[in-house]
Amino acid sequence: MQDQAPYYHQIGKEIEVFEHAYKNKISFLLKGPTGTGKSRFIEYMAHKLDKKLITISCHEETSSTDLVGRYIIKGTETIWSDGPLTTAIKEGAIIYLDEIAEARPDVIVAIHSLTDHRRELFIDKLGETVKAHEDFMLVASFNPGYQKGFKELKPSTRQRFIATAFAYPDAKIEADILVNETGVDKDIAKKLVNIATKIRNLTELGLAETVSTRLLVDAAKLIHSGLPKRLSVEVAIVEPLTDDLDVVEALKDLCNLMI
């Protein structure tokens, strides 16, 4: 466990909500677009509650076997190896299933009995049911904003979680985050946030995802380390957003006027 708490600036009441969810062992869903602090929040909460955090980045190949465990061949023997979910259940860790909707459907099936009063996992390959340690908690994230390859979570899955929506923070908080996270000047932080606010409001650009706090943090880091401001904004904010050359040019002009 790291000694220093990860830096996290509360946006709403998510810290209190999480503490109560943890006390009551109700699974927790973090909803929201990329780069809004979901991963940072769960790292912060695990540290605050002094619990081990096990993070799994789910993708379309993630199966229940990856989470629960599998037999592996060692020399001439076949031995069982717990997956990260089984480990978390036994040790009483917090498991964070990042982008849960991406995972294969059998993952959702596997967690069902963990996310209700049973709090147990059935390991079919062993024919065993494991009861969760009382400190175990399941947390998942979900980005409802994807426009391509959109994946939903079924209501019967969603309703097993308490859910908190993450969004871009208010301008003042977002500027504070940039200053705290990167050491950049307050004045530059405010300008970066103004750029973000402006681009976020340009819905007609049809961007799949707009400027996240993560992109602003990256731009602030580059500026703080001495890269020219306009170039920093171009490479950290404009280019990651789109490959459409006309949009890139328009955004570059806009940003140059604002920084």
Ligand X SMILES: Nc1ncnc2c1ncn2[C@@H]1O[C@H](COP(=O)(O)OP(=O)(O)OP(=O)(O)O)[C@@H](O)[C@H]1O
Footprint of Mg ion (CB under 5 A): 39
Interface of this chain with ligand X, residues 190 to 219, rule: CB under 6 A: 213-214, 217
Minimum gap (Å) between residue 63 Cβ and ligand X? 21
| Token pair recorded at residue 252 | 């570059």
Could you identify the residue written with the tokens 């199966």?
63
- Judged by CB under 6 A, the residue of 153, 177, 193, 222 near ligand X is 177
Minimum gap (Å) between residue 232 Cβ and ligand X? 16
Nearer to Mg ion, 40 or 51 (CB): 40
Q: Map residue 57 onto helix, strand or coil.
A: strand
DSSP symbols for 162-181: EEEE--PPPHHHHHHHHHHH
Piece of 6-14, 84-92, 129-137, 248-256 that binds ligand X (CB under 6 A): 6-14
Sheet containing strand 28-31, edge to edge, reads: 53-57, 94-98, 137-142, 28-31, 162-165
- Judged by CB under 6 A, the residue of 18, 27, 29, 36 near ligand X is 36
Contacted by 36, from ligand X, Mg ion, none: CB < 5 to 8 Å by type? ligand X
Nearer to ligand X, 88 or 196 (CB): 196
Contact 123, 130 (CB under 8 A): yes
Q: How far apart are CA 198 and CA 254, in angstroms?
A: 9
Q: Report how many helices (DSSP H) and strands (DSSP E) the chain contains, helices first.
A: 12, 9
* Under rule CB under 6 A, residue 11 binds ligand X: yes
Q: How far apart are CA 176 and CA 232, in angstroms?
A: 19
Q: How far apart are CA 104 and CA 102, in angstroms?
A: 7
- Judged by CB under 6 A, the residue of 21, 35, 88, 114 near ligand X is 35
- Judged by CB under 6 A, the residue of 18, 27, 29, 37 near ligand X is 37
The secondary structure of residue 161, as a DSSP letter, is S
Each residue 117-156 as x (binds ligand X by CB under 6 A) or -, in order, gives --------------------------x-------------
Residues of the shown chain interacting with ligand X in the complex, contacts defined by CB under 6 A: 7-9, 11, 34-40, 143, 166, 177, 181, 213-214, 217
